[in-house]
Amino acid sequence: MGVPRDYKLLVPREWFRIDLMQDRWRAQLKTFVDRQAEGRNVPAELTQKVWATLRNTAEAGRARGAMEFYLLTTSRDGGLPASLLVSLVPLGETPADPQKYAAWLEVREPEGPSPRQVSVVDLPAGTAVRVLGATTLDVHTLMPGGLGYLTLSFSAPLMGMSGPMERLCDAMAGSLRWVL
């Protein structure tokens, strides 16, 4: 298989997409936050805190190669939404072999307060390293042509990453396809 020109990912229409490659991403993010607070009697301090947290997440993600940011509000009170950050991680220091990458991630990111499960899985788009935490799921899929890993970083801060949310995120990761 050659080097992909792009990728396709199926994301449910309820997820709000922010293109981090465009200069207008901050305005898109502000629109999302304002829409979520609209008509819900959400305190201004909470709206500002959610905006700042999401903006910081997007900025940190952009610094690490993030291209897209998807948001899904599952909270009725305007709290932090579930999210997906799509990033390109060039090989550089990262091992090209997914088994070695999984071991590298375990050493690089030791156990925190909540246990993580690191595994190597086969997806239709290729071999991937799956890292499941209490509120997060990262899927690092090896890109054809030795470009690196396309990383799907899911976060569900309010409901956690189990049950239906975990299955939904796995289904989204399983929909990844390369455009050659």
Q: Compute the distance between CA of residue 172 and CA of residue 180 in angstroms, rounded to an integer.
A: 20
Q: Compute the distance between CA of residue 2 and CA of residue 144 in angstroms, rounded to an integer.
A: 6
Predicted local confidence at residue 144, as pLDDT: 92
What's the average model confidence in pLDDT over 56-69?
A: 94
Q: Compute the distance between CA of residue 41 and CA of residue 38 in angstroms, rounded to an integer.
A: 7
Q: Compute the distance between CA of residue 110 and CA of residue 62 in angstroms, rounded to an integer.
A: 24
- In this structure, are residues 6 and 180 in contact, taking their beta carbons and an 8 Å threshold? no
Q: Using one digit for the tens of pLDDT, what is the confidence trace for 137-172?
A: 999 999 998 889 999 999 998 888 989 999 999 999
Q: Compute the distance between CA of residue 120 and CA of residue 126 in angstroms, rounded to an integer.
A: 11
With 0.85 as the threshold, say if the pTM is over it.
yes
* Mutual angle of helices 25-37 and 44-63, in 10-degree steps: 150
Predicted local confidence at residue 113, as pLDDT: 65
Answer positive or negative: Cα dihedral of 12, 16, 19, 22: positive
Predicted local confidence at residue 76, as pLDDT: 64
- In this structure, are residues 110 and 129 in contact, taking their beta carbons and an 8 Å threshold? no
pLDDT band at 109; cut points 50, 70, 90: low
pLDDT band at 106; cut points 50, 70, 90: confident
